[in-house]
Amino acid sequence: MISRRDFALSLAAPLAIPVGLHAQAKAIQARIKIDADRRIGDIDPKLYGNFAEHLGRCIEGGIFEEGSPLADKNGYRKDVMKAVKDLDVTFLRWPGGNFSSNYNWKDGIGPRDQRPARLEMAWGTVESNRFGTHEFLDYTEALGIEPYVCANLGTGTWTEAQQWVEYCNVADGTAMTKLRRQNGREKPWKVQYWGLGNEMDGPWQMGHRTAEDYGKFALEAAKLMKWTDPNVKLIAAGSSNFREGSDWVGWNREVLAYLKDHIEYLSLHTYVGNAANDYHDFVAVSNQLDDRIRTAAGIIRAAQGGLSPKNPIYIAFDEYNVWYRARGNSQRGRKILEEHYNLEDALVIATMLNTFVNNADTVKIANMAQIVNVIAPIFTNEKGMFLQTIFHPLQLFAKNTRGAALQTFLDCPTYESKSFGKATWLDVSTSLNNGVVTMNVVNRHLDQDVEAEIEIQDGAFKGKFEVAVVTGPDIKAENDFGKTTVQTATTSVTASGSKLRHRFPPHSYTMLKGSIA
């Protein structure tokens, strides 16, 4: 691990050096090549989604805090709204998660003071229902975020799911639309993205079913939802994890057999952690993610008869994050699922985002779980908030990695990780958007620089390149109220010609962004 002093010196050192000049200290050597014509696919803006569940302090005390001096007249926390905007959140999933599997949406509409409080069994609490459909959809509308509503396919009925679509999406002329108008909303919100339940493969889920039972039940719900609004896009509950011993392949195969002609996305979830406290193993976990994405894409392809389908089914990673410490009810005095993230977690998030971008032809949705307080990049108390380490890579990706994903050729020494096979010291993704190239590079090495020669084929780098680095004095460095240790540091370099040499500091994530001619 490098000392704080060495860390300060490494930031002060020039980050890019011209080709031919010797590096100041020994660095691992790598080569990166890109070619603007070699495209993987379009990067869907919905890769930069988040998730808001009725869980702990995500909604109440996070997004929404009625009576707080920090809240607006609707009860939305203004500081949180600003952070959500700064994060460029494109897509927000709600109301769960496990919560959605016993949620009756009709409890959450009408005058707030008349809404029923209900026992909440997913997380063992009481749901006030003061934040419901109107509060969620008005929030996304105010922030220009695409909403994604997960229907209750646990204890809920087909009719409840159908009527929720009708309430949100149909203009007028029915009892449901009259009810919406009575509740103060004239025009429909036109919610396009709907989940057919959450993690229905898990025995922890209320209304858990076998794959066959879920497939049959979800198929009828899908028909009714699409007949209510043919524009809706449906996301089926695929496997909740890839854990050893879980038949995640079998679940997805069976569910697709029933739903393949009725859905646009298959949802997959993944949470990763470093319980063994093995840094180099942990930062290689995206190898597994990449492998699972390719396997899932193959399962989808097989379900569609191996043909190029007219209606493709994409992968929706509608829950992903680092989550392993705050599994129980409290963590270091904090409340439920309140993970405190460090630098290594932020690096892992950058490698997960690299993996989504490198599979941009099949992964079209990703929701970091969640948005505030609960396994989240934004953390509040009643007086303010701070940005967790994982906020920074997500923000850099969301703001800059847009357009088309490019294939990146990488020639880089590797190491043998304990659980995830060989890993390259650098982990890379590249995008191209209107002549602007963005390269995301994680240096997984704990204490050595990696110097790369970056070459663009059939073109040249042109002018000023923005260099944004997320690193810190120590892989365990954390942020807190009043303490920002891990954040984005920005500099620039001038580039010309087809090659650029850059030195990536140990345990860091770097974004390089500039024009190509």
Q: Report the catalytic residues.
A: 199, 319
Phi and psi for 227 in degrees, rounded to 5? -70, -25
443 binds ligand AHR (CB under 6 A): no
- Least CB distance from residue 156 to ligand AHR, whole Å? 16
Q: From 68-76, 95-103, 110-118, 484-492, give the range in contact with ligand AHR by CB under 6 A.
A: 95-103
- Least CB distance from residue 434 to ligand AHR, whole Å? 35
CA distances (Å), origin 104, targets 5, 341, 355, 384, 433:
56, 33, 36, 32, 42
Phi and psi for 383 in degrees, rounded to 5? -105, -20
Among 65, 319, 449, 478, binds ligand AHR (CB under 6 A): 319
- Least CB distance from residue 485 to ligand AHR, whole Å? 26
Among 151, 232, 365, 369, binds ligand AHR (CB under 6 A): 369
Of the pair 199, 264, the CB lying nearest ligand AHR is at: 199
Encoding tokens for residue 135? 């509060």
510 binds ligand AHR (CB under 6 A): no
Element (H, E) at 328: none
CA distance 312 to 449: 42
- Point out the residue whose Cβ comes nearest to ligand AHR: 97
Q: From 67-75, 93-101, 304-312, 350-358, give the range in contact with ligand AHR by CB under 6 A.
A: 93-101
Encoding tokens for residue 308? 């190029």
98 binds ligand AHR (CB under 6 A): yes
CA distance 154 to 168: 21
Of the pair 155, 484, the CB lying nearest ligand AHR is at: 155
Encoding tokens for residue 372? 């505030």
439 binds ligand AHR (CB under 6 A): no
Among 56, 62, 96, 514, binds ligand AHR (CB under 6 A): 96
- Least CB distance from residue 367 to ligand AHR, whole Å? 10
Of the pair 370, 438, the CB lying nearest ligand AHR is at: 370
201 binds ligand AHR (CB under 6 A): no
Helices (H), 247-370: 248-259, 279-282, 286-303, 343-358
Of the pair 208, 399, the CB lying nearest ligand AHR is at: 208
- Least CB distance from residue 206 to ligand AHR, whole Å? 11
127 binds ligand AHR (CB under 6 A): no
Phi and psi for 238 in degrees, rounded to 5? -80, -155
Q: From 19-27, 90-98, 208-216, 351-359, give the range in contact with ligand AHR by CB under 6 A.
A: 90-98
Element (H, E) at 16: none
211 binds ligand AHR (CB under 6 A): no
- Least CB distance from residue 198 to ligand AHR, whole Å? 5
101 binds ligand AHR (CB under 6 A): no
Which of 320, 207, 309 has the alpha carbon at shortest distance from 262? 309
Of the pair 127, 451, the CB lying nearest ligand AHR is at: 127
Query: Residue 231, CB half-sphere, CA atoms under 13 Å: how many?
Result: 9
53 binds ligand AHR (CB under 6 A): yes
CA distances (Å), origin 128, targets 83, 193, 330:
25, 25, 21
Q: Packing angle between helix 286-303 and helix 248-259, nearest 10 degrees?
A: 30
Q: From 40-48, 96-104, 356-364, 394-402, give the range in contact with ligand AHR by CB under 6 A.
A: 96-104
Which of 261, 263, 238 has the alpha carbon at shortest distance from 251? 238
- Least CB distance from residue 323 to ligand AHR, whole Å? 7
Among 60, 120, 199, 474, binds ligand AHR (CB under 6 A): 199
* 137-196 binders of ligand AHR (CB under 6 A): none
Torsion of CA 315, 327, 372, 322, to 10 degrees: -50
Among 90, 162, 198, 362, binds ligand AHR (CB under 6 A): 198
97 binds ligand AHR (CB under 6 A): yes
Omega before 370 within 30 of 0, i.e. cis:
yes
Of the pair 122, 176, the CB lying nearest ligand AHR is at: 122
Element (H, E) at 195: strand 193-196
Secondary structure class of 232 (helix, strand, coil): coil
- Least CB distance from residue 398 to ligand AHR, whole Å? 20
CA distances (Å), origin 364, targets 45, 230, 354, 359, 367:
8, 20, 13, 9, 10
Q: Which residues bind ligand AHR (CB under 6 A)?
A: 53, 96-98, 198-199, 319, 369-370
